[in-house]
Chain A
Amino acid sequence: MAIKGAIVIDVERCKGCGVCVSVCPKQVIALSKNVNVKGYNYAEMVNEDCIGCASCGMVCPDGVITVYKAKL
């Protein structure tokens, strides 16, 4: 039984500051090549290694990250 996490990012509120990218212990988050409606390169999940530690959610200045965790 493995613990798997997932994050959901509110893309339109994200300002692409990259603080979540720097604190993620599993390098799950990266800034997208695409931009949102304000022109920011928003954060997105790039692999399935998320452990649901919620570090990204805690440091996100705009509170755009929602974190889920489940035992699969």
Chain B
Amino acid sequence: MFNEEIVKPENLVYKKTDVLTDVVMHYCPGCPHGTIHRIIAEVIDEMGIQDKAIGIAPVGCSVLAYNYFNVDFVEAAHGRAPALASAIQRLHPNHHTFTYQGDGDLAAIGTAETIHACNRGENIIIFFVNNAIYGMTGGQMAPTTLVGMPSATTPYGRRVDLNGWPLQITELVAQLPGTYYVTRQSASTAADVRKAKAAVRKAFENQAAKKGTQFIEFVSTCNSGWKMTPVQANEWMRQNMFPKYVLGDIKLEGEIVRPYNPEDSKVIRDLVSVK
């Protein structure tokens, strides 16, 4: 079906930004990495900072992100993206350095780099894609895996007495004085994409004003690792991830606006009493 009266260049509403290359992404069908890549690329395009943006690719599914962004990119060792970004941003203070990391990279092997970069208040942006699983290696348990959530290494669900609590690193870094803007977003619906884009734009603007570390978490899915269709995975995320990883701003202009999720302390108390 093709309407020649409507499909004209002057009627264009939406198209893929040129800051993303035409390379076909290697991600599984329905993987939110593609959407999150596009959100970041659209903001870079709208702000006109394509020649000043420097990305740091992590280890994980997004290891090949440098193939898809039409900006300068550096590949970091596993978990070391914030350290590399610190160095690059210090050498090029008027550029926009951002890291793009998954939860296995940022919240497991790279915890030290993440926390120290945030604590030093490096003028970088950290994009943290949290899908609660190690997606690339086959769906093993990650620090962010929810309690009771099955994974390849916890087939009967994550147990607190054996595997500990899910790590809420976004709440953790919000406590550090170096972070200026900490928020949690998602990219599963058009409304979420619009909100996430506004948050990404704010982070780049804060970075231009040299305010400190900007930390944006994207609650995401891994439909292959979760063994679901993409649409089911989005629904599962809304029902199970959002109560634990609550969307919204956590730290705004250096002030914590949502100190602690009271539901979390309730859940922790319940589970401790069960044990």
Contact = CB atoms under 8 A, between A and B. Distances in A.
A5 B262 CA distance: 45
Interface in B3-18: 3, 5-8, 11-17
A68 B13 contact: yes
Interface residues of A, number: 38
Contact of B187 (A44, A59, A72): A59
Interface string A3-22: 01110100001011111011
Interface string A31-72: 000000000100011111000111101111111111111101
Contacts of A46: 1
A62 B68 CA distance: 11
Contacts of A40: 29
B168 interface: no
Contacts of A61: 25, 27, 29-35
B1 A45 contact: yes
B38 A63 contact: yes
B24 interface: yes
Interface in B133-180: none
Nearest to A62: B34
Interface of A: 4-6, 8, 13, 15-19, 21-23, 40, 44-48, 52-55, 57-70, 72
